[in-house]
Amino acid sequence: MGNQEDVLRLPHEQIEQIQLEGLKKTAVSCYENIPFYKKSFDEAGFDPYSVKSLDDLRNAPFVTKQDLRDAYPYGMLAVPMSDVKEIHMSSGTTGVATVGAYNDHDLKIWGECFARGIEYADGGPDDVCQVCYGYGLFTGGLGAHYGCISAGCTTIPISAGNTERQIRVLREMGSTIICCTPSYAMHIADTALEMGLDPARDFHLRAGIHGAEPFSDNFRAELERKLHYKVLDIYGLTETMGPGVAVECMEQNGLHLAEDHFIAEIIDPNTGEVLPDGEWGELVITTVDREASPVVRYRTRDITRIIPGECACGRTHRRIDRLHGRTDDMLIIRGVNVFPSQIEDVMKTFSQVSSWYQIEVGTDHRSLDIVTLKAEVNPGFDIDDMAGIEKLQRRMQAAMKAALSVGVKVKLVEPKSIPRSEGKAKRVIDTREGIK
């Protein structure tokens, strides 16, 4: 058992007490130190000094990514700049960054939260962890690094890129846990197989901690088959800390929230109403003990649910389901809401196609939405068999129509023809005018 197991198995009443005490401090700190929160709390009639229960949180206003961007660079700091030890940034499509600041306390907590992923993977000081997330302003690399160090592992800070070197290190240094995006893990696997290597024989991996982008159960199964290890999903975002807000255990049945550090709510994204456990909606996060960049009711735009009941692993921190998508990734196609994950779920029922795909959204000459799924066929499929290709495309199009209630054109392409990424995979290209 790892050194955090006691807190991971606390009775939930005790966890809620920790959350309440943290909420009181966080709400007051935000109000007294951050002008944005003073203004928004006052306008909403929320008194941070009168918080008596966790239910009082519902009276606080939401904060959005745009609010954080508007406060760039340091408008959301709750501590003096002299206390800040590290800065990370997340940049969206507009190029305007959101800033996450960390003091010594925050960095320690961040490391402990990611380290739970190592514990969930039954890992510890005997493990060699290869960190292939990008280091720098992106929170993935250093978040994983601090977590592996906190868990007592031997840590290889290799960062992303130079895939053949990654493979050489995996072979020669005895790496047992790998941390990177799932799409990069798949790229490593495919490259290794192309080099004539057998990961079961040549690698030493037993677990991968993969996050920063959604991936389907089918994608997970393919990764586990190719690399002969166990894939654990990890969730986090710069605005609330970074990776480690929630992590899967070996049961692979939802991600355990670090509830002693975060309060999670699920809301109806249209009304803002808090939804009961089990219902799908938008995840809202409040930090319990982050000091430099606290947030109260941050709207993540991520679609998930709180899974009712207890996990078979015996840990008491509640779980969120694997992400269904993002409210801002949702495609509205001729009035129908479509998530890329739904397209992927249909695609993966066809064994002839690989995990690599791209969704292109545009308009035709009538200004009607057109969705094209570009999917790579598996190496064994004859791309020159036009009749076979057309037949498979028609079958996939029919399945898409049945599942999504909207037409999707399928274009099958050669293996390795869709660009690979060392970071987050670019799954959707939307060229419609006025759509970002």
Q: Residue 256 — φ and ψ, nearest 5°?
A: -70, 120
Neighbours of 360 (CB within 10 A): 15
Alpha-carbon torsion, ordered 55, 56, 59, 62, to 10 deg: -80
Q: Which residues of 121-133 are buried (b: 16+ CB within 10 A; e: fewer)?
A: bebeeebbbbbbb
* Amino acid code (one letter) for 190: D
Q: Residue 156 — φ and ψ, nearest 5°?
A: -110, 105
Q: Residue 95: what pLDDT? A: 56
Q: Residue 415: what pLDDT? A: 92
- The label of the residue with tokens 């990611």 reads 114
> What is the length of the chain?
436
Q: Residue 341: what pLDDT? A: 77
Strands of 341-418 (E only): list them.
353-363, 369-377, 409-413
Of 416, 398, 418, residue with least CA distance to 406? 398
**What does DSSP say about strands 255-257 and 319-320: parallel, antiparallel, or unpaired?**
antiparallel
Q: Residue 94: what pLDDT? A: 44
Q: Residue 324: what pLDDT? A: 76
Cβ atoms 188, 167 nearer than 8 A: yes
C-alpha angle 397-347-253 in degrees, rounded to nearest 5: 145
Cβ atoms 195, 201 nearer than 8 A: no
Render each residue's pLDDT in the chain as its tens digit; 436 residues: 457 999 999 999 999 999 999 999 999 999 999 999 999 999 999 999 999 999 999 999 999 999 999 999 999 999 999 999 999 998 554 457 899 999 999 999 999 999 999 999 999 999 999 999 999 999 999 999 999 999 999 999 999 999 999 999 999 999 999 999 998 999 999 999 999 999 999 999 999 999 988 788 888 999 999 999 999 999 999 999 999 999 999 999 999 999 999 999 999 998 999 999 999 999 999 999 999 999 999 999 999 999 999 999 999 999 999 987 777 677 777 767 787 878 888 988 999 998 889 999 888 876 678 899 999 999 989 989 999 999 999 999 999 988 887 889 999 999 989 988 777 777 888 887 655 4
Cβ atoms 361, 333 nearer than 8 A: yes
For 244, half-sphere exposure in the C-beta direction (CA atoms, 13 angstrom radius) is 32
Of 54, 68, 64, residue with least CA distance to 23? 54
Both tokens of residue 107? 């960095």
Which residues, at least 6 apart from 385, have a Cβ–Cβ distance to it below 8 Å? none
Both tokens of residue 91? 């940049």
User: Any idea what DSSP says for residue 323?
Assistant: P
d(CA 83, CA 101): 10
Q: Domains, the chain, ranges and CATH?
A: 1-327 (3.40.50.12780), 331-430 (3.30.300.30)
Q: Residue 281: what pLDDT? A: 94
User: Any idea what DSSP says for residue 95?
Assistant: S
Q: Residue 166 — φ and ψ, nearest 5°?
A: -55, -45
